[in-house]
Amino acid sequence: MKKTIITYAIGALYLASIVCAVLLLFSKKTTSPEKILQSRIVPVAGDAIAVINISGPIRMGSRPRAFLSYDSEAILRRLRNTSSRKDVKAIVLRINSPGGSVAAVQEIYSEVMKIRAEKKKPVVASFGDVAASGGYYIASACDKIVANPGTITGSIGVLLELGNVQELFKKIGVRMETIKSGKHKDTGSMFRELSVDERKMFQELVNEAFNQFINDIVRGRGMQREKVEALADGRIYTGSQAVQNGLVDKLGNDQTAIETAKELAGISGEPRIIGEYDVWEQFLQIFNPPKSLSPIDELVSKQKLRFEYMLE
């Protein structure tokens, strides 16, 4: 019994030493832009600017997700937490995303607009390599948008894709039997072609989502609808082109976005930068590596209906 207790005590001390070492590693302060965006410096006092990453495809998280995943719910949670802090006077959204599902993108857009209207805190978008389609949709809710000259943006439009494995199943001798309660219940099935009525129905969905996209850009950016419509044919633009056509406000990097947020918030002196992770979250990420799909799961996922603001 005594031996077991000693063993557990040694194990606990060993684990505690590892935790302390990792916390010390991640708590080192740095002034480089890359480190600023990935670390969280917990200060004593003073006005702060929060930096929140929006990276990769944006989803609602329909499948069981990792503990610290980047789905729309996690992004919304961080937006709400940081905007509620009294010391946070402005927010910078670091966007490096080709877009995502319609509902997920719209939820984040609405939250940014809410922060501007209710919290009276400026929000600035900072574009990375790509901030297209749904990535741009979210940015259009911000007070200002900063992009690198070579950023890929634009791609304003809606994508709805349906997989069809009918011919494949014929070749391997598999036939699906469907029993349904109504004629449209299996609309979008991957086991048959769309009917004329079904194709029309899906086109109406796309048109409606596209109009919502246009309306929200007009609302967020204060642009003329006719100008937005002329740019919204799915084309992509560089950051430089986007400045010229009014989709982006200025060229620059993360520091430019922070300076812009500082100016809009009326912060005097050097603001503190609060990254989205605290030290404990960084430690937990070590034990939470990204999971990859099996080839079969990857194939099946691509055959499902996709309704997205996405750069392809």
Q: Which residues of 139-149 are buried (b: 16+ CB within 10 A; e: fewer)?
A: bbbbbbbbbbe
Contact 245, 231 (CB under 8 A): yes
Residue that is written with structure tokens 């809009």 in the block? 264
Helix axes 72-83, 102-114, angle to 10 degrees: 0
- Whether 2 is a known active-site residue: answer no
Q: Alpha-carbon distance 180 to 119, whole Å?
A: 49
- Whether 86 is a known active-site residue: answer no
Pairing of strands 236-238, 152-154: antiparallel
Q: Alpha-carbon distance 166 to 170, whole Å?
A: 6
- The one catalytic residue in 183, 185, 302, 304 is 185
CA triple 298-107-54, angle to 5 deg:
60
Pairing of strands 99-101, 306-310: antiparallel
- The one catalytic residue in 72, 97, 101, 133 is 133
Return the active site residues: 133, 185
